[in-house]
Structures are given as C-alpha cells and as structure tokens.
Structure 1
C-alpha cells in the first residue's frame, strides 16, 4: 500500500468519527485500504455492498431513477448515515459514506465510465463526481482511482485538512502527483498510454495501423473530469417544522438530522415531555429509568413540536427549549411524533418513561374514541414495534394528594405486560413544571406543553 495513502487512513482512524459504508459497482479497493490499516474498528461500523438491483432497491426503499448517479450516491450516503447513528451511542460523531460506480466491465460498457462518491452527516453532504477517460485504464486501475476518491471524501468528512490529502491521479490537465499506489513516477499519463495500447489491441480504439503515433495522439485527447460539491444542511429545526425531516437530535455538542436511534440492539430510554422548563425532576427520572433498563442502556429526552390539541410550537419556542439541553450538555431528540404510537414507529425497540398521571390517561378508552378495541389496537402496534414503558410515581395533586405509582393504575390485561414501575425508593420528585411556571420560572413566551397531554402520548 502506498505510504501516503496509508497515512491518510491512519488519520481517518484517529479522527474519532465512525462510518457506515455503502458501495455498489466499484470502490471496493477503498474499503480494502480502510480495513487493512490497523485501527479500522475505530472507524468502520458496517460495510454493505448492495450490488444487485434488488439489494439496492431494498436498501433505499425505492428504485432510483438511475443507479449510477449523484442522487443515488447521496441517497446511499444518507441511508448509511442513519445506519451509523443507529449503531452508535448518543453524541458519537458519525458519517455515512457511499459510492455508486460504472467502471470497466465485460462486455465493455457503451456509456461513460464514472463514479459518484458521497458522504453525509448532520452538517450536510459532500459529493465527488468522476468521469473516467474511457479505455485509458484497466478495471483494476479504475478501482484504485475510485478507491482513492472514497478515502479523500471520507477524510474530509472526518475533518482532515483537504490541502494535505494526496491528489487523485487524474489524466489530462488535472493529472498530478503523487501517482496511484501501483503506478510509477510518470503517474497516470504513463498508465493511460499503456492502457490505450491494450485497448487498441483489443479493438476498442480505431487506430490507423500505419501511423506509429496514433496511440499517443488518442491518449492526448483522453482526460478525466472531476467535480466536487459541498452541500451544507439547511436549518434543522426549520426543516423539522416544515415536515421535511422526522427528528433532530442534539447530543455530545453535535446535531444529528433525521437519524432516529431505535432501541434494537442497544437499550435506549426516552423521556417525552414539554420541558417548560427543564428541571431536576426530569433529569432524575431519566437517570432512574436508565438504571432500571439495565447494563448498556442510555437515555435521551424527547420533545415533540406537534400537539394534536394545541397545534405546532413556534420556532422560537422550540429553540428556547432546545437551548436548555444544549447548555446542560444533555441529549434531546426533537420530533414530530405527536401520538404515542408515532413515537413507537419512529423509535422501535425503545423504552418510554411516563409519569403516573400520563400513564393513567393513556389506558383510558375515552381517549381512543371510547373504544376499548381501538385502544387495544394502538397498544398492539406499540408492542409490535418492540416498545415498552417505565412509569414513575408522583403525587396526585389533583386528587387525594397521595403519592401514586404503577400499582395504583388499573391496567387492561392485554397491555399490562408493556408496563413496569420505577420504585419510589429509586425515584421520587415532587417538582412540578406547572408550579414552576406559576412561580414565573417557565420559559419566556413558551406555551405550557407540546408533549405532556394525552393527545401527544396516546
């Protein structure tokens, strides 16, 4: 392996960024380079090669208009990014890396030899498009160039200085040293001349057999075309409020857009609420729930911007609530999941933490059109999503003033298995958001709730 490329890979492995990689049609050499330098486990979460049509369609969820295109590469990178988020803990820097290629093949392609390499993260996307000089390289040489492009895009996504990365061994005016790992000091032009001669021998180039300089003449007209583009992400909360993304996560000083972390494979606990204001009771409740969830569990707060009764929160309100968590260094997932079943669909396998008063209401048929069957169907969908609930006790301030827990709720038999209680000795907090707001300690201009009513939970 070329020492310069090896150093690039070592820097990638030392960056702290983890990646899921999806490649199709080529770029396998880039993946190999990533894996053969010690420390790959610090970077690579998963490598998927959706080579067949069916595999690619299944991964993307739809058939692309064109299999080798910029749009398909960007879609693959976004899918890889979402997968990377699902496989890592809150706050872990992740990137989705993808390549879709149409390279030299047998029988020879009629169209261009090209590759599109993309990386996607919460801050936006990077795209590198390469149209290769057709007939100038063997398949192996094309794989090497595209592999270097893959490393280049990943390195930039990991924060490496692009001016310190080796340039691609391009043919034509842009050709530059250092050459590819298996070319000599004359670089890609020498490789192109040899490849052109081989192509001519195979009948791929129409040369005048009487002209001894025809190979060199045709080679002079060969050149690669490269375009790179950086696509910054638009304001994530505006995108969420407009319905263009499903969720925005703030954790570890980073923003993760449209990459929900489900509970499958890694126990995750979410505490839904309005957080006007965020207080010590919220923090203690989530901590107790995470402890009950067992070894390896992690927790996150969840705020929905959409309320079935009160409509959508204003951008300024959402920003004020988010700011509390960012300042405290606490993870927050902002969603459009109005109903409890919506949350379960967005976050399959997750455990949701509820206060006693909310748990009482979500098992009342009157909130399901008065239908016990309707309620049972909702909880069936939640169960199928693999979700469950932890119920924290609280003082019944609208009744007898006694501390109430799960044991005080009449649960229908068909849903009882989805609920577990947090013992009073594990958690009790008599702090009330309502009381704090009444005392003037709420967020300025903030409405009371987007996440505490039954409408937003059931």
Structure 2
C-alpha cells in the first residue's frame, strides 16, 4: 500500500502535531508535506543535527543523546510547540459578534501531540553503542482557552483531558546500509503517528472516514494503522483485528516489504501526563509537598526530590514518570575542590559547555525588582571574574540562572499549594528556570545542583559561616575547624560556591555587604562578593507584602 495513502489517512484524522527529530528520520517531514492537506496535521517540524541545536531546544544537553529519556524530552518540547501554536491560533481567529451563552464552550478541544525521535545509525566515526532508534509520542485532548472549535474529523477519542506518553524502540540491524537505517527511523516515526491516529478513533469504530457524502466518502480501516509492521509467516503483524483493506480501498496493493519496518518495535504502555500547564504545575508542586511530608512523617532525610521547569516551561521531575530526570540534576563529577583548575583563584566553575550555573534560592513572595537586579549584578561579577582569570582569548561563557523555592513541611492544604503554584507561575511567565525542592540546607542543594554557584544575601552568608551549625563544641577554634572541613567537603567538594549580595537589615545594623563578612582562612575561595557600587537596593519582599496589605486590606 503506498505510503501516500497512510499519510492521507493521517491528514484525514483529527490529530495535530509537531515533530522534533534529532539525527536520522527527517525524511518523515517530506512524507507528510508531499501529501495534500498537510497543514491540517503538521504544525511545526524541527531537525536537530548539532549538539548545540539539541542543547538550545532542550535548554540543556542530556546525559545521553540517543536514549528513551531524550526522546521524551524531544516529544515534550514538540508538544509544547503544538500547544503554543494552537493557543495563538485560537486567540487570533476572528470570532462572530454574538452574546456569549452558557451553552457555548469556553475552550476549543484539540488532539495535540509532540513526536520526538533520536537515533544512532551507521557512521564513519568511532562510536560506542549499537545502532538504534527511540521515538516518543506526548499529548492528548487539550482544551485551549478562548476558542469555540471542536476537533476536526469524526472521532471522539478515548483520551480524557489527561494526556498520554508512549515510547517506541527499535534496534537497527547491522546488515542495513546507512540510508536503509535512516529509512527505518523514518518509518518508525510514521508508525508512531499512525498508532496515535488509531488511538484517537472511538473504540467502537472500525474505521476512520473522510468526506460527508456517500460518493466522496473514503474509509480507512483500523488495519491500515498497522501497515508498516513487518510480516510474519506472510501476514502483517497487527495489534488489532484486521479488516479487509482491499474491499474498503479497491485497487490498492499491499505495502511493499521494502517499505515496512525490519522488525517489530517495542511499544510501552501509555503513561498518563498532564496536558494543561496549570494542572502540571499544581501536580508537580503537590508531588514535592507529598515527598516533603513523607520525609517529615518518617523522620527521614531530604533526598534529591526536585521539580524543575526550564526556560521553555517544560517540566523535569525526578521520580515522577513520564517526566525526565535529566537536566534537573546536574552531572558534574564530585571531586576535591583543589583539582578544579583556577578555582582557588576565585574562578567560577563553568563545567562543560562553557556555562556558569547559578542557583538563586529564596521564597520570592513576590519576585521583585531587588531580586532581578541582584541577579544582573551577580551575572556581571561572574563574567568579569571569568574574563579576568582566563583572558581575552577565552571562549565565550554564558550564565544559566535557576531560581529555587524550597518547600517547608507546614500544611499540605490548598492555600499552601495555591501559593506555591502562584510563585512558580510568576517565573514561567517570564521564561525563567525555576525549581521547587525540599532542600532547606545548602548541603542538600549542593547534592541536587553540583557545579552551581549559590546566590545569597549577606544575612544568609552570615548564617552559613556560623560555626554553631557545624559543631556542638564550646571551643571556638574547634567549632570553626569543623565548619571549614564541612564546607570544604560538602560545598567545595561538589564544585559549589557562594556569590554574596548586600542587604538592608531590619535592625539597627542598616545596610550590610560582603565587606562586613568574616570568612575563616581556608574558605576564602568559596565566597565572592558583589560590591555595593554595583548593587544596592533597599527593598525586601517583606516590605512589599506589607505595602500590599496596607493598600488592599
């Protein structure tokens, strides 16, 4: 059966999708676009062939490019593109003038998906690992606020407003040439799209139809969506009851073996996923709060529980499938701080990819001008220090900033959840990276975010350098020695350090900055201060909240 017929069935379906392909398989874009009415289906297609392209698209380079986890990140990114495009489309559509009625839907429903693919095929360069491909489909029935349109086509799927994620994997035989392996990846992506179309057909329907009148009606049976699977014993493998294709589509031949998958790809069971951004934020915040409460109830220790949104607003969440654990936890090696070239001379550790990573912990209730100006001052300091140490010939360096909100185990009620959701969303609206963790101690933050600088105020730096937090000894020298040992092992040993900004104190001390901080010998390399000439803002979140309460009691 011609590939064009399969693509025609895809375009007749109600699904809309974006593609994000890393490596082989980009030919599937041509397969979709050369058949009329592709604009019904395809929203956007990206081909990422350079590491820099993948890093920009995913806001970070995965540990392993060719993996199921990376395919999920690519699919998630593609789904976000689909949702963004359709949301803009709905808002831009001219609406007929009429009084709204209760019967009118408040949002349009769209079958939106993101398809991610990553693969390794034959190459002349030495490479570890086998030739294989991973494909992921991420999405479902999505409500887009502000529209009055329903999905096109004749289906009302088994999907609820909760989406699904499916993973596919195929090992590519060594007997195939590079071109043949590339074609297999293309067919695998096409097969994943066909399976997605099949999932959108009502369970009691045997076929997908196109057209409204009897003469122009064309029927696409369910068996069509298995057409790319390999033959076994002369018969096509099918996951569903096969229909007589020739009777429904007369004159069409069976798919040639050269246009089939070489073997059966593995397919994971569907995993539920939130497709509404607000629901996703609430789900992630509640997950961290539950983990925090569980630790409190059992008397355990806060582990690496973290929900992180990258600058595209895509969630990374450790221990909560289907969200990727990658990029959430940095992968810099743990080593003695003296091994880091230049670190003792005050050089901020940039890790791999010439990126200086900066974590800004705080409550951010609300995020205000003082916070953002402190960030800009810290970035200027880090880049200036890097340039001074490395010289003009150094490669360009960028600073990756992540805001962090550490939850406290107080009350798991709706008020606390709503408050955290609001605080997270203020960063997502700005396109900023933000993490919600249960890491109240800097030791735990260093475990979660190795290789990061911690941006803190002078009041926090004073608490960090209080020996009483590290030893119960009454001997000041002994307590200080314990503090130096602990900070060297737990902070410097993970490539972390502190960037300290000044702050207006609430007591009579007034403005305090780095010049007033006493740093014991052996820890000077762990602290760098922002001079008051570069940052001084006499405002705090507490004062802003008080002003709000006064204006709106």
- Structures share a fold, TM > 0.5? yes
Q: Match for residue 186 of structure 2?
A: 148
Q: Match for residue 374 of structure 2?
A: 285
Q: How does 1:36-51 map to 2 (within 5 A)?
A: 40-41=49-50, 45=54
Deviation track 1:101-124 (CA, whole Å, cap 9, x = no partner) reads: xxxxxxxxxxxxxx9845388987
Aligned partner of 1:238 among 258, 271, 286: 286
- Structure 1 unaligned blocks of 5 or more: 8-14, 22-28, 47-58, 61-74, 86-92, 101-114, 157-161, 178-184, 196-222, 445-458
TM-score, normalised relative to structure 1: 0.56
Distance 2:68 2:436 in 1: 22
Q: Match for residue 68 of structure 1?
A: none
TM-score, normalised relative to structure 2: 0.48
Distance 1:245 1:127, change over 3 A: farther
Distance 2:469 2:434 in 1: 27
Stretch of structure 1 that moved more, 311-320 or 292-301: 311-320
Paired residues of 1:356 and 1:405 also in contact (CA < 8 A) = yes
3-state SS of paired residue (2:444):
helix
Question: How far has the Cα of 1:224 moved from its partner?
Answer: 5.4
Q: Match for residue 361 of structure 2?
A: 272
Deviation track 1:50-101 (CA, whole Å, cap 9, x = no partner) reads: xxxxxxxxx89xxxxxxxxxxxxxx95237768999xxxxxxx99985689x
Q: Match for residue 361 of structure 1?
A: 463
Paired residues of 1:18 and 1:43 also in contact (CA < 8 A) = no
For the pair 1:400 / 2:509, whether they are aligned, the reply is yes
Paired residues of 1:82 and 1:260 also in contact (CA < 8 A) = no
Distance 2:547 2:255 in 1: 73
Distance 2:115 2:378 in 1: 30
Distance 1:317 1:39, change over 3 A: closer
3-state SS of paired residue (1:297):
strand
Deviation track 1:186-228 (CA, whole Å, cap 9, x = no partner) reads: 7444899xx9xxxxxxxxxxxxxxxxxxxxxxxxxxx958756
Q: Match for residue 375 of structure 1?
A: 483
For the pair 1:126 / 2:166, whether they are aligned, the reply is yes
Q: How does 1:26-425 map to 2 (within 5 A)?
A: 40-41=49-50, 45=54, 76-78=67-69, 117-119=134-136, 125-128=165-168, 139-140=175-176, 147-148=185-186, 151-152=189-190, 168=228, 170-171=230-231, 172-173=235-236, 187-189=255-257, 227=267, 229-233=269-273, 235-243=283-291, 246-258=305-317, 259-260=327-328, 262=330, 264-265=351-352, 266-294=355-383, 295-306=397-408, 314-370=416-472, 371-380=479-488, 381-401=490-510, 403-425=511-533
Distance 2:75 2:378 in 1: 25
Distance 1:245 1:298 in 2: 20
Question: How far has the Cα of 1:336 moved from its partner?
Answer: 2.2
Distance 2:523 2:411 in 1: 29
Deviation track 1:257-309 (CA, whole Å, cap 9, x = no partner) reads: 133264632212121101122211111111211222214113221111146xx
Paired residues of 1:289 and 1:422 also in contact (CA < 8 A) = yes
Distance 1:337 1:416 in 2: 24
Distance 1:363 1:224, change over 3 A: closer
Q: How does 1:12-23 map to 2 (within 5 A)?
A: 17=20
Question: How far has the Cα of 1:387 moved from its partner?
Answer: 1.0
Stretch of structure 1 that moved more, 421-430 or 376-385: 376-385
- Structure 2 unaligned blocks of 5 or more: 8-17, 30-45, 56-62, 77-83, 85-113, 121-131, 140-162, 195-199, 201-207, 209-224, 246-252, 275-282, 292-302, 318-326, 331-349, 384-396, 473-478
Paired residues of 1:301 and 1:333 also in contact (CA < 8 A) = yes
Distance 1:352 1:80 in 2: 31
Paired residues of 1:17 and 1:43 also in contact (CA < 8 A) = no
3-state SS of paired residue (1:267):
strand
Aligned residues: 332
Distance 1:167 1:245 in 2: 44
Distance 1:83 1:378 in 2: 40
Distance 1:226 1:396, change over 3 A: closer
Distance 1:333 1:120 in 2: 25
Distance 2:364 2:537 in 1: 15
3-state SS of paired residue (2:176):
helix
Distance 2:268 2:135 in 1: 10
Distance 2:471 2:407 in 1: 24
3-state SS of paired residue (1:354):
strand
Distance 1:38 1:436, change over 3 A: closer
